[in-house]
Each structure stands twice: as structure tokens, then as C-alpha cells.
Amino acid sequence: MAESGASTLPPTPAPHSPVTRAERFVWLTARVLEQRLFAHRFRGAAADPVETALDAYRNEDGGYGHALEPDLRGPVSQPLHTAHALRVLDAVARCAGQRVERMCRYLTSVSTADGALPAIRPSRRDCPTAPFVPVVADPPSDLLATGPVVGLLHRNEVWHAWLFRATDFCWQAVESLENSHPYEIEAAVTFLDSAPDRPRAEAAADRLGRLVRAHGLVALDPDNLDAYPVAPGYAPGEHHFPYDYARTPRSLARAWFTDDEMARSLDHLAARQQDDGGWPVRRRHWAPAPALEARPVVTIEALRTLSAYGRTID
């Protein structure tokens, strides 16, 4: 018999807490995958159902498709879908085993001549895709696609022959960046946060942090956004904030910002929760389904970021 006052159940969230409001939003709008992810991360549910839901997006070639990344429609496998799948597996601590081995074989098969990944393979030509994701006949290697994949594989101590040249590509790309944009910087940070050579990663991150501030790639005052023009090609209001680069306090990008700058950005993130319980998608809306499917993904990420910084979400 349990001792008086002892409890084996998690505390019940407040009825109007951010996570409770987000839960209602997720159940009303999300795909099964995000429903399972939310239940695992915030309600203590098992990881197996997340893996099962992810399997619906896996193809026979070991890659992923079927609009796993909402802005890429259609069934065909693409590197950006694989990056999304790795983020899901990392979130449930299942980034290992035969599943990841198959993914690495797929990555090997679609790599460019220098061993890295293109953003979009030409097979996308027959499927709808966001207008800001260009499809070309001979796509080049892309840090935006390669950095997050390499970073997540290193983070989970996955070793595969594909990683050697892909890691070299990431180092060269990151250390030669002079003109960039926020999403590319985010990809670089994901790589650097888990790159095996920590002194080299810290030096590269320090340089990137100075570049981000010097080029105005971060909005440091959420109350004065007019002072921060968005990057060329981005949607109006598609600003990036300190929390976009430093998703957790352990990120190397955390050192780029003062405590006050980070606190203001987290206040802004918390305040962005909308009346329906979800967070908005800042990217350009180009079709109804991608915008609807992306919002639960963004909502779960916002809650994870706030929780990582000790902000109350329950």
C-alpha cells in the first residue's frame, strides 16, 4: 500500500496551461505521427507507437516520402524527408539499429559526387512542392539538407561509411560560410552541436555567431521587428529569434546571445501561442494541407524549446 501523500501519477496539468491548450489543438488538427509524438513527449506514452506511425512514410528504398516533410508532397523519397524522420527517431531515443542502417544506405544512394545530400532530387518534378524549394536537373550538395542529417547521426553515435565524406563536406561548408540565411545557419548549428571534433566545432560556432549578428540574421528585440528585415525570399514576418538557433541551453548557439536577449525571445515564443492552442507557421503558406500539417510540428517544437529552458508549460 502506498504511503500517505505518495503518488505514482504525474501531476495533472492546469486546465488552461500551454500544454493542455496545445494538446487540444493537436487532437483536433494533427496527423497520427504528431499525435503520438505529443503523447510520448508530454504525456509519458510509449515510443513504439511513434515508430509505428513513422513507418507509414517509409519507402522500400529505405528513404521516406508521402509528405512527411509537409512542404514536399507525393510518395517519392527525398533527403529532407529522411532528415525529418531522423528528428522523430531522435525525439524518442530510437535513432539506431537496422532502421537507421537502411536510412544510411538510402543516403549513400542519393548522395552527390562529393558525398553530401542535395535538398531535392529531380524526381520531385512530377509532385507538388513548395515554390520556395527549387527543383533542378542536377542538384548540388546542400548544407541545409546534409548538416541536420550528419549532426543527428553523430548525436546518436551512429557510424556508417556514408558519414565520413558527408562530415567533411559539412566542415568545409560551415567554415567557408560568408553570406548565408537563417535556415542554413540552423542546419550548421545542428551539425556543430554534435560534431565529434568539439574544439573545432566551438571555434566554428563562435565565428557563425558573429556572422549572424553582423548580418542581422536574428531579431534581438521582438518588440521592434521593423528594425530587422527578413532574409531575401522569406515570407513577410519570417523573422528568426535566438531560440531558433539555440533550441536548448546546451547548444553552442546559446553563447551567441545575452541572458536578456534569450529571455526576451522566449517570452515572445510563449506569447505566440494562438487562441486555438497551436503556434503559427512562419514560412510562406502555399497550399492548405502543408500549412495545416506543419502547425502541430511547430507547436511540439515550441513546447520542447520552452521546456528545455525551464519555462512552465504545465
Into how many domains does the chain fold? 1
Do the domain assignments include residue 240?
yes
Confidence class for position 16, pLDDT limits 50, 70, 90: confident
Q: Which domain holds residue 285?
A: 18-308
Three-state secondary-structure class, residue 225:
helix
Helix/strand/coil (H/E/C) assignment for every residue in 67-134: CCCCCECCCCCCHHHHHHHHHHHHHCCCCCHHHHHHHHHHHHHHCCCCCCCCCCCHHHHHCCECCCCC
pLDDT one-digit tens code per residue, 46-59: 999 999 999 999 99
Q: Is residue 208 part of a domain?
A: yes
pTM over 0.75: yes
What pLDDT is stored for residue 7 in this prediction? Answer: 45
- Give the mean pLDDT of 82-99: 96
Name the average pLDDT for the chain. 93
pLDDT for the residue 3? 44
Rounded to an integer, the average pLDDT of 220-234 is 94
Residue-level pLDDT at 5: 46
3-state secondary structure of 297: helix
- Is the CA virtual torsion 257, 304, 95, 104 positive or negative? negative
> Does a structural domain hold residue 50?
yes
Which domain CATH number covers 260? Answer: 1.50.10.20
What is the structure's pLDDT at 12?
A: 60
Tell me if 192 sits within 8 A of 174, measured CB to CB: yes
Look at 2-11, 31-40, 218-227 and tell me which has the smallest mean pLDDT: 2-11
The reply to whether 12 falls in a domain is no
